[in-house]
Structure 1
Amino acid sequence: MSENQNLLAEQRRALILDEVRRRGGVRVNELTRKLGVSDMTVRRDLDALARQGVLEKVHGGAVPLVEASTHEPGFEAKSGLELSAKEDIARAAAELVSPGAAIALSGGTTTFALAHQLLDVPDLTVVTNSVRVADVFHAAQRTSGPRQGAATVVLTGGVRTPSDSLVGPVADQAIATLHFDLLFLGVHGISVEAGLSTPNLAEAETNRRLVQSARRVVVVADHTKWGTVGLSSFASLDQVDTLVTDSGLPDGARAEIAEHLRRLVVAGGPEEPDEEPDGESADA
């Protein structure tokens, strides 16, 4: 972490959070030296991160927050984290989408970033259970007016979660009748043992329906999701075709993922070769 007085607040806070997670805790005086900012600025940043529920302030510094497997942060709390990584992931994931495709986007801040990257892809049919994702497309159409090739957006009904996803029986029944070419799936956590998981039981069931209705499943998740386990698993890694993540993913995790997934795309870094777990080509 280099000294830089000109970092934006959100960039500085992302660096602080990464340092806290990597080291297991930091002191205020260490952060002032590393970031080249005042003691007061660091304390304000720690206050903001503590309000978001992503770290715990202690005397003289901060430590990681140990979350229960049932803890579900709200959309606003998650939206300010790993911003550059999410933008990189969104741009890389958008390259997987062809004009005229029928795609689904689950809830989450990374799929929200992806939605912005898809606005200029013509003739898409977008199925989503995310109020935020649907709003991206609707806002663009209100601004530009009716235009040829604009996306058709299907928003499922359901009960709204803290992350602004619609879940439950109404959403499940709607999704079960549909079939899409690609599913872009945001996750709370991903690991070899637990697969894909979420702290919300109803969301887990809705995500299962999304996976079942998709011809191909693409998980979009930044490196901090690796090793996190929520209350309920809803898919194994073997059910995922592609993981799009960022260059912060450790080398050890990349090796583990390669044993289970057909394809790993590292946004902002070299792409891993397409390969089936048994060594066959992904296109075979």
Structure 2
Amino acid sequence: MAERQNLLAEQRRALILDEVRRRGGVRVNELTQRLGVSDMTVRRDLDALARLGALEKVHGGAVPVEGTEPTGHEPGFEEKTGREPAAKEEIARAAASLVTPGSAVALSGGTTTYALARVLAGVPDLTVVTNSVRVADVLHTGRAPDGAEAGGPTVVLTGGVRTPSDSLVGPVADRAIAALHFDLLFLGVHGISAEAGLSTPNLAEAETNRRLVASARRVVVVADHTKWGTVGLSSFASLSEVDVLVTDAGLPAVTRAELSELPLRLVVAGEEGSAPPDTADETYRASRAG
């Protein structure tokens, strides 16, 4: 019953956020009529979204946070590449330490996973499944970041319909992923929050990401601090489905405290004492298995 209630709360808050951003503001009484819930429920939802920085509460309702992207806006790859480039490089190096030679890994689309792919190009005997054209391109070069020759991983590109961020999605990609199994999934995200979990503005990409999560033994989210509190149109996984979150030092202390209460490993790139566990550490694996 609790899981059902949480799902309904997530759906309500996604609808509220969409209304706020689409209309430029909403009133509590309008939301109670639209959603069929009490004033108190709506106010709790607004409080939760305000704590995430997704909207701003005002007397009698809520308005968008200045500078917030629309929930359904999907920036292109080049636009996203220019955001937090140093943090993405640090995250990529930290995430790469989770990978052992000879393993099968998957990389979703995104500029952070693209940075990770550049590092993984020098890891021997990898099999990499990806739905990212950009990731596949950098891995096919077979070169490590320093330009040295490398054997290059075996790359499995899913196929599918191309998105503005150069990911491949849709039924073709979904069927390909459903038939595969991999040790680690490195997942880039548009947004991440305690309430909405992992989200994207692209509905087809959300479904493809669900398939990626379902096919992975362990899920590693790679996301810089600016992704926290961002909510896209469609949620595709909860934080309870994430094994490791690799982020950067810009993540606020209040958010770190919130994450410490969840059953996931938080890795802050570049901070001493926050190194990822060895992937061969059976104790860690056993603790995750429950």
1:94-122 deviation digits (Å, cap 9, x = unpaired)? 00000000000000000000000111110
TM-score scaled by length of structure 1? 0.71
Change (3 A) 1:202 1:117: same
Q: Is the 8 A contact 1:223 1:246 kept in 2?
A: yes
Secondary structure of the corresponding residue to residue 185 of structure 1? strand
1:242 aligned to which of 231, 238, 244: 244
Matched, 1:177 2:179: yes
Q: Is the 8 A contact 1:102 1:182 kept in 2?
A: yes
1:53-110 deviation digits (Å, cap 9, x = unpaired)? xxxxxxxxxx952211100000000001101000000000000000000000000000
Amino acid paired to 2:115 = A
State the match for 2:24 in structure 1. none
Amino acid paired to 2:134 = R
State the match for 2:89 in structure 1. 87
Q: Is the 8 A contact 1:127 1:154 kept in 2?
A: yes
Secondary structure of the corresponding residue to residue 155 of structure 2? strand
Higher RCO by CA contacts (8 Å cutoff, separation 6 or greater): 2
Change (3 A) 1:72 1:118: same
1:52-131 matches, within 5 Å, as: 65-131=67-133
Q: Is the 8 A contact 1:262 1:282 kept in 2?
A: no
Change (3 A) 1:222 1:122: same
Change (3 A) 1:281 1:91: closer
Structure 2: runs of 5 or more not aligned: 1-64, 144-148, 278-282
Change (3 A) 1:68 1:148: closer
**1:271 CA drift (Å):** 4.0
Q: Is the 8 A contact 1:101 1:123 kept in 2?
A: yes
TM-score scaled by length of structure 2? 0.70
Query: 2:75 & 2:150 partners in 1: Cα distance?
Result: 38
- Count of equivalent residues: 214
Q: Is the 8 A contact 2:121 2:150 kept in 1?
A: no
Q: Is the 8 A contact 1:242 1:261 kept in 2?
A: no
State the match for 1:162 in structure 2. 164
Change (3 A) 1:192 1:148: closer
Matched, 1:207 2:173: no
Query: 2:205 & 2:70 partners in 1: Cα distance?
Result: 17
State the match for 2:256 in structure 1. 254
Q: Is the 8 A contact 2:268 2:275 kept in 1?
A: no
Change (3 A) 1:93 1:148: closer
1:148-174 deviation digits (Å, cap 9, x = unpaired)? 843100001100000000000000000
**1:258 CA drift (Å):** 1.5
Query: 1:108 & 1:212 partners in 2: Cα distance?
Result: 19
Q: Is the 8 A contact 2:142 2:152 kept in 1?
A: no
Change (3 A) 1:163 1:271: farther
Equivalent pairs: percent with the same residue?
73
Amino acid paired to 1:163 = S
Q: Is the 8 A contact 1:129 1:167 kept in 2?
A: yes
> Which has the larger displacement, 63-72 or 149-158?
63-72
